[in-house]
Structure 1
Amino acid sequence: MKCVKPLLLATAIATTFAAGANELNTVIDKSSAINESASKSQAKIDSITDSMQSRLNKFKTLNKEIDGLTVYNAQLTKQINNQIEEMAAINASMDQVSVIERQITPLMLRMITGLEQFVALDVPFLPKERAERLDSLKKLMERADVTSSEKFRRVLEAYQVEMDYGRTIEAYTSLLPVNGQEREVDFLRIGRLELLYVTKDGSHAGSWDADKKQFVELPESNISQINKGLRIARKQLAPDMLTLPVHAAE
């Protein structure tokens, strides 16, 4: 009977130890499960964090693009408003085109007539060239394939050519009746101040008399000065003083 108690005690201890071991295994298993679950949760958290960071970066990028587009749209709005104003101005100008064209054509015709009268009263240098220029302007005015702006430009160009004659010196060759005989002569034009000539053989010289409206013969003493002037005009001689008679037009 005395041997039974230790046996029972050992059995009880073994049973208790086995139960504790089972509970420990259970705790360890649960702890492992918890760790695994925590690891999965952390992975999910990391994935969510990465996703949120990526979306945040995209959000910041989009905000920058929106700011840029806002500035760009504001600039475009200004440009569009300016273009609208310009179109309105162009439309208003187009409405006046026909009116302006009706006014500019008579003006050009009057300018050509005035230029023709001026040439007729002027010193008679380069008569053929100046007459052809006037004739060209008259024919130009009749053409429908030339714009009014081009016609006006050509008229102003003709006026400019005539103005330039007044401040230049020129030498040219042409035919002129001398003592009842048509002869080839060298003309010397000094602005509009004087128009002189000398025959090719140097035997006769003359100048335009504005009062008499004809060429008058000059003494032979003027021939050398006229020849000198011709050489200056042709750039064969440096500019120098000339002693010549003057018959200026009023």
Structure 2
Amino acid sequence: MKCVNQLLLAGAFAVASSAQANDLNQVIDSSSEINKSALTSQNKIDAISDNMQSRLQQFRTLNKEIEGLVVYNNQLDKQIKNQLEEMAAINASMDQVSVIERQITPLMLRMITGLEQFVTLDVPFLKDERANRIAKLKSMMDRADITSSEKFRRVLEAYQVEVEYGRTIEAYTTLLEVDGQEREVDMLRIGRLELLYVTKDSAKAGSWNKETKQFDALPNTNISQINKGVRIARKQLAPDMLTLPIQAAQ
């Protein structure tokens, strides 16, 4: 009987142990499933967190770009405003240029006419050269391929040349009627103060008379000084004192 009881107890213990083992396995399996589920959830959470961080970084980057674009656009607005103001000023200037251009053409024509009259009344030196210069100015005024500014520059340049004549000394060779005969002579111009000539053979000399508008013969005693002046003007002699007949200023 005792043995039977021991067997029953052993069997019950075995059954209980087996039941406990099964329960433990179930608990372990459940725990494992929970861990797996938790790991999966954590992975999803990490992925979502990483995605949110990435999007946040993108958001911050875009905000910085937007701020930069706002500053850039504001600067462009200022530049465009300034350019529009400059364009308005240029348009106004162009309108003024058109007005000035219409006024300057008659002015240049009057200046050329005045220059021509001055040359006609002036001491008759380099007559062909000065007449050609005025003729070119007149022809230039009819040309459409030359701007008004260039025309005005050339007119002023012609005036400047005439001004320079008044403060320079010059010698040149030309043909002149002397005693009814055309002869080759050396002309000596001293500013606009005096215009003298001496024949190539140094036999005759004369000076321009502003009153009679013709050359007056000079004594032979002046010839050496005129020849000296010619050589000085041609830079063949160093500048020196000259003794020449000078007409009194009126």
Give the Å deviation of 1:57: 3.6
Distance 2:40 2:199 in 1: 121
Say whether the 8 Å CA contact 1:165–1:191 is kept in structure 2: yes
Code of the residue aligned with 1:149 in structure 2: it is S
- Summarize the Cα distance change of 1:241–1:48 in structure 2 as closer, same or farther, 3 Å threshold: farther
Give the Å deviation of 1:96: 4.6
**What residue in structure 1 maps to residue 69 of structure 2?**
69
Q: Which string of whole-angstrom CA distances, capped at 9 and with x for unpartnered residues, describes residues 158-199 of structure 1? A: 212222222333222211122222122222223323323222
- Summarize the Cα distance change of 1:73–1:246 in structure 2 as closer, same or farther, 3 Å threshold: farther
Code of the residue aligned with 2:138 in structure 1: it is K
Distance 1:66 1:237 in 2: 82
Distance 1:239 1:53 in 2: 95
Distance 2:151 2:12 in 1: 131
Distance 1:9 1:68 in 2: 86
Q: Which string of whole-angstrom CA distances, capped at 9 and with x for unpartnered residues, describes residues 141-173 of structure 1? A: 233444433332222222122222223332222
Give the Å deviation of 1:108: 1.6
**What residue in structure 2 maps to residue 197 of structure 1?**
197
RMSD in angstroms over aligned alpha carbons? 2.8
Match runs of 1:225-236 below 5 Å: 225-236=225-236
Distance 1:205 1:226 in 2: 8
What percent of counterpart residues are identical?
76
- Summarize the Cα distance change of 1:173–1:21 in structure 2 as closer, same or farther, 3 Å threshold: farther
Distance 2:53 2:228 in 1: 96
- For structure 1, the 5+ residue unaligned runs are none
Distance 1:245 1:128 in 2: 26
Q: Which string of whole-angstrom CA distances, capped at 9 and with x for unpartnered residues, describes residues 4-36 of structure 1? A: 333233223323322332233233333333333
Match runs of 1:205-224 below 5 Å: 205-224=205-224
Query: What TM-score, normalized to structure 2?
Result: 0.83
Distance 1:4 1:126 in 2: 164
Q: Which string of whole-angstrom CA distances, capped at 9 and with x for unpartnered residues, describes residues 19-63 of structure 1? A: 332233233333333333343334334433443343344334333
Query: What TM-score, normalized to structure 1?
Result: 0.83
Say whether the 8 Å CA contact 1:171–1:230 is kept in structure 2: yes
Classify the secondary structure of the residue corresponding to 1:6.
helix
Say whether the 8 Å CA contact 1:186–1:200 is kept in structure 2: yes
Distance 1:22 1:238 in 2: 138
**What residue in structure 2 maps to residue 58 of structure 1?**
58
Say whether the 8 Å CA contact 1:205–1:223 is kept in structure 2: yes
**What residue in structure 2 maps to residue 22 of structure 1?**
22
Classify the secondary structure of the residue corresponding to 1:3.
helix
Q: Which string of whole-angstrom CA distances, capped at 9 and with x for unpartnered residues, describes residues 205-228 of structure 1? A: 333233332223333443343333
Distance 1:9 1:239 in 2: 156
**What residue in structure 2 maps to residue 188 of structure 1?**
188
Say whether the 8 Å CA contact 1:122–1:249 is kept in structure 2: no
Say whether the 8 Å CA contact 1:188–1:196 is kept in structure 2: yes
Classify the secondary structure of the residue corresponding to 2:175.
strand
**What residue in structure 1 maps to residue 12 of structure 2?**
12
| Larger RCO (CA within 8 A; separation ≥ 6) | 1
Q: How many residues end up aligned between the 2 structures?
A: 250
- For structure 2, the 5+ residue unaligned runs are none
Code of the residue aligned with 2:143 in structure 1: it is R
Classify the secondary structure of the residue corresponding to 1:113.
helix
Classify the secondary structure of the residue corresponding to 1:92.
helix
Code of the residue aligned with 2:66 in structure 1: it is I
Classify the secondary structure of the residue corresponding to 1:176.
strand
Q: 1:151 aligned to 2:151?
A: yes
Distance 1:43 1:188 in 2: 112
